[in-house]
A and B are shown apart, each in its own frame.
Chain A
């Protein structure tokens, strides 16, 4: 146990954990929304994230010609680059998410197939996407040149907040808030919630099921794409299987908070990001994953539906 390090490095760990946590939050929103309407773990979500990171990287290197020798940009150009990357990432992820639903889920769903059937179909899609990218990139990790110079917004006694972390935290919070408002307040959002409560009843009420489900994937994809953009801003590197670790972590976060519940994803993601940082220091990085899972099991034992789970749902195979 390395408490001394936690003492001296508390604030950097806290801020790193929060930044990582907000990325987890947004990815787990993708999982949890799809789970809400389909009662299904969207295994292809990690690949939706992966494609978003590549979109960011491609836009910055091909459209704006960033390369290894270029310097981070400033002012209006910086804003333009960031916005374009963000847009590209969100659009790519959203389009892929909607396509995944059409190809991997829709036919199975309309045929009334077993939920596990869709699960395997999603796993298949995920293999196709990641292997496709692997072949295209020759399996090489793709590092993105620095676009945003990583200066400290403020720094007191060596404790500070970096611009990329601030962006991630602020933007992550705003985006999450927007999705939350959308789902609770707007007509379309209410339709999503209606479907997640009862598919049959909402169809009786005249809700176009296919459209609502596509919309859910679209929003999940947009948010996951935003997460991919933020990931690239903070870590600046991606590879064809980057989604695997992030996907498992975000899925864990969604379950920790109570899957199917948006606010659960929020707290779950933050809790997981912070837990990973602090456990890495306390017990050694190699035990990080194990500790996280042990904490998850303990939480689920005390609260079988996650921290913020809704009432027991029919979650059977």
Chain B
């Protein structure tokens, strides 16, 4: 046998093993190990969010395994590309996989909503780190996720009014310009902020929608300057928030700039440039992981993910909290889908900062997560109390 043949055989064997291993996963009675699924986009254009959240889940699992638990927890990563046409198939696969007892995911409201029928069919409990669209837990909606869907991020129904208040705080005769990114999150948050703005007597001098990711924000910046607005609120994620801020500065805009939790990420400061980012107002229901987590957890983060810092990685906190909800239930001996379901629905959990929380009947955090107000100063996003 020559070398090439040997190599080829080796590759064939490796492929065969990896394919075979897929088939071999099956459930056993009295489990010594259970599987948690992590469903989020891991490839494709939305992969950033999913890959970031995976870090939080990995950290939580790393810490869990350090305690030498009696029940081992395996992680099954399921890529749905944040695509609502792929997520139902993935979700149904998870629902049919008897080993899976809970799902962390999906990142995004659209993919999550599309997966509800499959999760309901499999009676599988889901905790999303970041799907904040209000309809997902709306008791009046016929397509909500009751009773299997939960989320550790507070809905934008809390954040919208708070952002509206915070952006216009201390400004005499505010004239607001609203810009969203045409995502489910951005457009939704804009819709939830607008009524509060109107109620507060703020005049909305203009509105624009720029489908993200966009290249060029200079036209929008020109419109803002022409409208003589003194407050700009951006509803979208940090990368495009930074590009917009940069364009506004170059166009000569001098007023306030505010954004929601999509911008609550140190990546925003690099995106906008340090100079441009200064003084940006940000609201968020949760603190970025690098600020929220105690030093020991941050050290675990580095060990678990081989990354120096969670800065620029969004929603790590929420993914960490969501995973820990499941892990606490597993620690207490809940290892079937139905007992996990009742555990998640009824018990009280601890988040990364040490605060206690539990879920409402429809899956939201009962404590309603206070909306924090932040401001960008130097290379940091620093808290300034509640918005």
Contacts and interface: CB of A to CB of B under 8 A. Distances in A.
A and B touch in the complex (CB under 8 A): yes
Contacts of B211: 285-286, 289
Contacts of A69: 274, 379
A69 B273 CA distance: 9
Contact of A5 (B48, B222, B242): B222
Interface in A110-145: 131, 134, 138-141, 143, 145
A294 interface: no
B222 A281 contact: yes
A143 B223 contact: no
B267 A5 contact: no
B51 A13 contact: no
A16 B211 CA distance: 19
B48 to A, nearest CB: 4
A285 B250 contact: no
B271 A285 contact: no
A34 B313 CA distance: 39
A257 B114 CA distance: 42
Most buried by A among B246, B270, B274, B379: B270
B216 A16 contact: yes
A134 B47 CA distance: 8
B48 A140 contact: yes
Nearest to B55: A138
Contacts of B195: none
Contact of A68 (B214, B218, B246, B379): B379
B35 interface: no
Nearest to A13: B222
Interface in A133-172: 134, 138-141, 143, 145-146, 150, 158, 162
Nearest to A249: B215
B190 interface: no
B270 A276 contact: no
A140 B225 contact: no
B263 interface: no
B243 A235 contact: yes
B213 interface: yes
B226 A8 contact: yes
A4 interface: yes
B51 A139 contact: yes
A280 B51 CA distance: 33
Interface SS of chain B: helix, strand, loop or mixed?
helix
Contacts of B312: 140
Contacts, number: 110
A16 B223 contact: no
Most buried by A among B211, B218, B242, B252: B218
Interface residues of B, number: 40
A286 B210 contact: yes
B243 A237 contact: yes
Interface string A14-26: 0010001000000
Contacts of A143: 242, 267, 270-271, 273
Interface in B252-277: 252, 267, 269-271, 273-275
B267 A140 contact: yes
A143 B311 CA distance: 14
Contact of B225 (A9, A20, A68, A284): A9
A4 B273 CA distance: 31
Contacts of A20: 215-216, 218
Interface stretch (A35-43, A207-215, A239-247): A239-247
Most buried by B among A20, A68, A158: A68
Interface string B42-65: 010101100110000000000000
A237 B267 CA distance: 11
A5 B222 CA distance: 8
Interface string A221-251: 0000000000000011101011011100100
B223 A5 contact: yes
A9 B271 contact: no
Contact of A236 (B48, B216, B273): B273
A141 B182 CA distance: 19
B379 A280 contact: no
B249 to A, nearest CB: 9
B239 interface: yes
B54 to A, nearest CB: 10
Contacts of A237: 239, 242-243, 271
A276 B219 CA distance: 8
Contacts of A12: 218, 222, 225, 251
Given A237-B242, A286-B182, A277 B219 contact: yes
Most buried by B among A131, A138, A242, A278: A138
Interface string A298-314: 00000000000000000
Contacts of A9: 222-223, 225-226
A146 B274 CA distance: 9
A45 B218 CA distance: 25
Contacts of B219: 13, 16, 276-278, 280-281, 285, 288
A63 B216 CA distance: 28
B213 A277 contact: no
Closest 6 CB pairs of A and B: A280-B219, A139-B48, A16-B218, A286-B209, A9-B222, A143-B270
Interface of B: 43, 45, 47-48, 51-52, 182, 208-211, 213-216, 218-220, 222-223, 225-227, 239, 242-243, 246, 250-252, 267, 269-271, 273-275, 312-313, 379
29 contacts: A5-B223, A12-B218, A12-B225, A16-B216, A16-B219, A20-B215, A20-B218, A68-B269, A68-B379, A69-B274, A131-B43, A134-B43, A139-B48, A140-B48, A141-B213, A158-B252, A236-B273, A237-B239, A239-B213, A241-B45, A245-B213, A280-B220, A281-B223, A284-B208, A285-B208, A285-B220, A286-B208, A286-B209, A289-B211
Given A9-B222, A16-B222, A277-B216, 13 more contacts: A9-B226, A13-B218, A68-B274, A134-B43, A141-B271, A143-B271, A150-B250, A158-B252, A162-B250, A235-B215, A236-B246, A237-B242, A289-B211
Interface of A: 2, 4-5, 8-9, 12-13, 16, 20, 68-69, 131, 134, 138-141, 143, 145-146, 150, 158, 162, 235-237, 239, 241-242, 244-246, 249, 276-278, 280-281, 284-286, 288-289
